[in-house]
Amino acid sequence: MQLNVLSERYATPEINEIFSEIGKNKAERELWVAVMEVQRELGLNIPEEDITAYKSAVNDIDLELIKKIEKTTKHDVKAKIEAFIQAASKKASKQVGQHVHKGMTSRDLTDNVEQMQYRNAANIILGRGVSVLRHMLDNSQSYAEYILTARTHNQPAQPTLLGKRFSMWAEEMLEHLESFEDFIGKYPLRGMKGAVGTQFDQMVLFDGNIRKVEALERKVAEKLGFKNILSSTGQVYPRSLDYAMVNNLAQISSAPANFAQTMKIMAGFGLVNEGFEEGQTGSSAMPYKMNTRSCERIRGFANLIKMYADGASRLSGEQWQEGDVECSVQRRIIMPDSFYTVDGLFETTLTVLKNMHAYEGEIVQELNKFLPFMATTELLQMAVKKGVGREDAHKTIKRCALAESNRMKEEGSSVNNLPQLLASDPLFAGVGITFEDIQKNLQDKLHFVGNAYDQIKYVSDKAAPLLDRYKEAANYEPRQIL
């Protein structure tokens, strides 16, 4: 029997706690207590002191005891109930009554408890995502002054700001976090629906008083923090809710995946490294290597969560009549593992966002190498303003730029002579455009980045309300990762 690798190596204690045996048992007891409380309110004969005893025993989980009882009962729910009764009796120092699980079917327990787990885990993950967003915004500020060669098709295109790249990822993050927040807020509980969804079982308990059954369900949901309840289900809630959950997890992973992708490429150019602890090296045999191992891991996680979304798609729209357990083994794997995955992904992303380093020298050097090419749009205009025909100017620039680009690569040269080439070309020289004129344009580097600086601010402004709603979560800092 192996450990779950995602849980063991990558997930944080908070998420692990939720999906642990202990965590699950606690959630079950919380549900049972809520049900007893409301059943009492609605007139069932359940003594308050018993409920108090149960409530005080919610966290006293004795897994060994449960296993022991199960060996006798051969029924896991019965064993859990018995263990809960024993724990409550111990707290109360007297035998409490058998009021647990009244009128409930097994799915009244499992489906609702799983939804509690998912909702709780989702809230934590949302918070972590907000922290990722905050770190991205922080970096967008820190690197707001770094003029960088923007690349499309991995080729130099126009200057931008390194900080703007972070605002780009931050905004993508924001988009999906807001949707996720909505999704969690509306996430509807299955409720007390009984064996086939008709609430027949609780109705029998309440002697046919269906209004009480409805009140039970409503009040239990409230106690558990759910605003919405499904009105009509089968034995189970529609598994498309699981699909939507995992889709959300996959969607909030896209911005970190984009970030990590570009980090990998930038590190290859020597523009950044992802941060190294004191004494850490890429490999013992090649100590100079600053591998982006964490960024690679982020991307591995991003692929995994998409895989689990694929898995969750196979749960959705596959229900036979009122339900069966075809989904059971899939959900057992897919749901916790999805949360572990994104948990690990965010933890790693936070670490890189926090520790990364940018090499200004290399960034400047790259910009200088390519700026003359990237300035050709304006050089064209310069010529046109001096009376050169647009097509003629374009042809000349194209010819010179291609020739120089080729020369540089063929010779392995970093020196870009395009300004000289143009200045000495009859067409440019003919209208009096000099090498100095061209250099002047190139020297004002900042104007090339357009609106990038303000865009950084706009994204921060957009994100502010969300950061404000989750202040504490936004301040989360990553633990030590593997």
# residues contacting its own copies (CB under 8 A)? 177
Q: Is 338 in the site for its own copies (CB under 8 A)?
A: no
Of 270-329, binders to its own copies (CB under 8 A) are 270-271, 281-293, 296-297, 299-304, 306-311, 313-329
Which range of residues in 53-61, 108-116, 219-227, 231-239 is near its own copies by CB under 8 A?
231-239
Residues facing residue 145 across a β-bridge: none
Binding status of residue 330 toward its own copies by CB under 8 A:
yes
Q: Nearer to its own copies by C-beta: 129 or 194?
A: 194
CB of 389 to its own copies, least distance (A): 15
Q: How far apart are CA 147 and CA 358, in angstroms?
A: 12
Q: Return the number of the residue (92 or 290) whose C-beta is nearest its own copies.
A: 290
CB of 42 or CB of 196, closer to its own copies: 196
Residues numbered 418 to 457 that lie near its own copies (CB under 8 A) are 447-452, 454-456
| Residues 51-70 interacting with its own copies (rule: CB under 8 A) | none
Q: Which is nearer to its own copies, 53 or 467 (CB)?
A: 467
Of 417, 390, 392, residue with least CA distance to 403:
417
Cα–Cα distance, 87 to 25 (Å, whole number): 13
DSSP, collapsed to helix, strand or coil, labels residue 158 as strand
Answer for which of 31, 255, 388, 433 binds its own copies (CB under 8 A) is 255
Task: From 16-24, 58-66, 110-118, 465-473, give the range in contact with its own copies by CB under 8 A.
Answer: 16-24
The single residue listed with the structure tokens 């009492």 is 40
- Residue closer to its own copies by CB (options 53, 442) is 442
Q: Which residue type sits at 377?
A: T
- State yes or no: residue 387 binds its own copies (CB under 8 A): no
50-56-57-58 Cα dihedral, nearest 10 degrees: 110
Distance CA 305, CA 6 (A): 12
Q: Return the number of the residue (381 or 475) whose C-beta is nearest its own copies.
A: 381
CA distance 136 to 463: 11
Per CB under 8 A, the list member of 126, 257, 342, 383 interacting with its own copies is: 257
Does position 164 interact with its own copies (CB under 8 A)? The reply is yes
Check residue 409 for interaction with its own copies (CB under 8 A). yes
Alpha-carbon separation of residue 332 from 111, 326, 338 (angstroms): 12, 11, 11
Among 353, 366, 435, 331, CA closest to 142: 353
Stretch that binds its own copies, among 39-47, 88-96, 195-203, 425-433 (CB under 8 A): 195-203
Chain position carrying tokens 């709780």: 120
Q: How far is the CB of 179 from its own copies (least distance, A)?
A: 7
d(C-alpha 147, C-alpha 153), whole Å? 19
Interhelix angle for 435-443 vs 376-385, to 10°? 130
Minimum CB separation of residue 465 from its own copies in Å reads 14
Candidates 92, 374, 384, 481; binder of its own copies (CB under 8 A) is: 374
Q: How far apart are CA 12 and CA 10, in angstroms?
A: 7
Among 109, 213, 350, 422, binds its own copies (CB under 8 A): 213
**How near is the Cβ of 364 to its own copies at its closest, in Å?**
6
d(CA 250, CA 467): 21
Task: Please tell me whether residue 3 binds its own copies under the rule CB under 8 A.
Answer: yes
Q: Cβ closer to its own copies: 53 or 149? A: 149
Q: Which helix (H) or strand (E) holds 190?
A: none
Among 158, 338, 351, 441, binds its own copies (CB under 8 A): 158
Q: Which of 40, 102, 223, 264 binds its own copies (CB under 8 A)?
A: 264
**Per CB under 8 A, 333 contacts its own copies:** yes
Distance of CA 149 to the CA centre of its chain: 28
The whole-angstrom separation of Cα 121 and Cα 82 is 28
State which residue, 129 or 323, has the beta carbon closest to its own copies.
Answer: 323
Which is nearer to its own copies, 253 or 351 (by Cβ)?
253
* Three-state secondary structure call for residue 150: strand
For the CB of residue 238, give the shortest distance to its own copies in the complex, in Å.
4
State the minimum distance, in angstroms, from the CB of residue 472 to its own copies: 26
Beta bridge partners of 238: none
Residue with tokens 């820190």: 142
Q: Say how many Å lie between the first and final Cα of the chain, rounded.
A: 22
**Which range, of 39-47, 80-88, 89-97, 162-170, touches its own copies by CB under 8 A?**
162-170
CB of 234 to its own copies, least distance (A): 6
CA 374 to chain centre: 35
Which amino acid, one-letter code, is at 407? R
